Amino acid sequence: MTDQQRADALSVVGGWVPTPNLDRLAGEGTRFTNCITTSPVCVPARLSLATGLYPHQTGVWKNQPSQSSPEQPTWMQRVRAAGYRTSLFGKTHLHPHQGDLREREGLMNAYGLDDVDEIGGPRASARVLSHMTATWQAAGVWEAYRADYEERFRDKPHMVRPSPLGLEHYADAYVGQRALQYLEDYDRAEPWCCWVSFGGPHEPWDAPEPYASLCDPATMPPPRAAPPGSEHRPRGDLDRMIENAPVLSREDIATMRANYAGNVALIDEQIGQIFAAIERRGEWDETLVVLVSDHGEMNGDAGLMYKSNFLDGAVRVPLLVKRPGAVGAAVCAAPVEWIDIGPTLVEAAGGEIDYPQFGRSLHPLLNNPQNEHRAEAISEHAGEIMLLDREWKAALNARGEIYLLFDVQSDPNEAENLAGRAGYGALEGDLRRRLLERLVSTQLQGAGYRFDLHGR
């Protein structure tokens, strides 16, 4: 799992990011072209992945201090109950990133993870203790990392320059190498389920050398413009973001994208090393492999950085799945949601999900990519909700009005917002009804989400 990787940040898709190992995964498995994150922001998305619940059920709509109760059911618990030894290397963000993450290993065990080496995200790692930051402290590089972050976000948040950590201590290299060592040394009787959760290519744009210079800014794809629309349409959170967007030049965007592509390439290399270790163990043909990201990165699209909106750059994520023994590439265009990953892993482990949740196993699509899976995929953020089906993409603002409407067949690049245009009123009414029906149909009946605000 990566953090903030756009769906087109794979060479097999966009052609601008060198990802030979992930391309191999796509060549041996199924690539899902319409995977939508449950929320285009870290905390609610990751909470939804673990629990199979939506933000309108958990009450977590943005990056806020939140923590599941140890009694909250998760897919990780069900994989473990099926007989697997579960492990986590990297970021989860299933509890507040503060203090010493090593003190929360008991909580992670309760969530269903046996062996844990958890890190904070790139920003949190400037202040949060973990096994990783302890190594930085011992190597005398943590203070330089902190100083670099302070300068970036004080003066120029879109600053592009290599991390002072260098490749040896860079977070994504740490996560990859810890997972690699774990798999090379694994000698238990139980089969393993290893969750490798990279903190990149999340901003800042600080890929270390040689990856900082790997991609040429001149070869980066140009950003998409903000989609024009009717002056009389309703407004939503995306409009607020665009009104307050930073001033980014074409050069700024190209340089950001090149560094971002270098970070993805770094992660791809780490993943390739993990694949090689599985092959040395003689287990590649017996292993289910999933690649996904929690949300995307605008990287200059619509003049924006980061995520937190329903445009493709933020809400559409890569999803690759290789089944044991499967050979040959397949492409699936059915709308899927990233909470479908948990049930997919549980089914592969021979387990059972016996608690209220709304993810659906992807195995029927792995058997036949032409199968229908969901009528639509939804995503939620800041009190708003989005729907994507094979024909349309629509978003309701917090007042229940459609303020984004795209014809995904004739306008795949989201160049024209049709919301509020003459002739689309009946369609908007139908899409609004479907969104509201989806909200009603997913209300939990009697079994609530166990949630502790601020970790209480």
Give the list of residues 6+ apart from residue 307 with CB closer than 8 angstroms, or none.
Answer: 4, 40, 41, 295, 296, 297, 298, 313, 314
- CA trace torsion 113, 116, 122, 128 (10° rounding): 110
Can you read off the two tokens belonging to residue 149? 């972050």
Give the list of residues 6+ apart from residue 294 with CB closer than 8 angstroms, or none.
Answer: 1, 2, 3, 4, 37, 42, 45, 46, 49, 317, 338
Give which of 68, 67, 86, 90 is closest to 77, Cα–Cα: 86
Per-residue CA distances from 199 to 263, 269, 431 (Å)? 10, 15, 35
Can you read off the two tokens belonging to residue 178? 């810890």
Can you list the residues of the chain whose pLDDT is less than 70? 444-456
Residues recorded for the chain: 456
Whether the link from the prior residue into 204 is cis, omega within 30° of 0, is yes
pLDDT of residue 447: 45
pLDDT of residue 327: 76
> What one-character DSSP code corresponds to residue 60?
-
Indicate whether this model's pTM tops 0.85. yes
**Each residue's pLDDT tens digit, 305-350:** 999 999 999 999 999 999 998 778 999 999 999 999 999 999 999 9
pLDDT of residue 450: 53
CATH number of 20-377: 3.40.720.10
pLDDT of residue 454: 41
Per-residue CA distances from 451 to 71, 94, 173, 456 (Å)? 9, 11, 33, 9
Can you read off the two tokens belonging to residue 352? 């059972």
pLDDT of residue 179: 98
pLDDT of residue 444: 62
pLDDT of residue 325: 85
Domain segments of the chain as ranges: 20-377
Question: Per DSSP, which regions of 115-191 are E strands?
Answer: 115-118
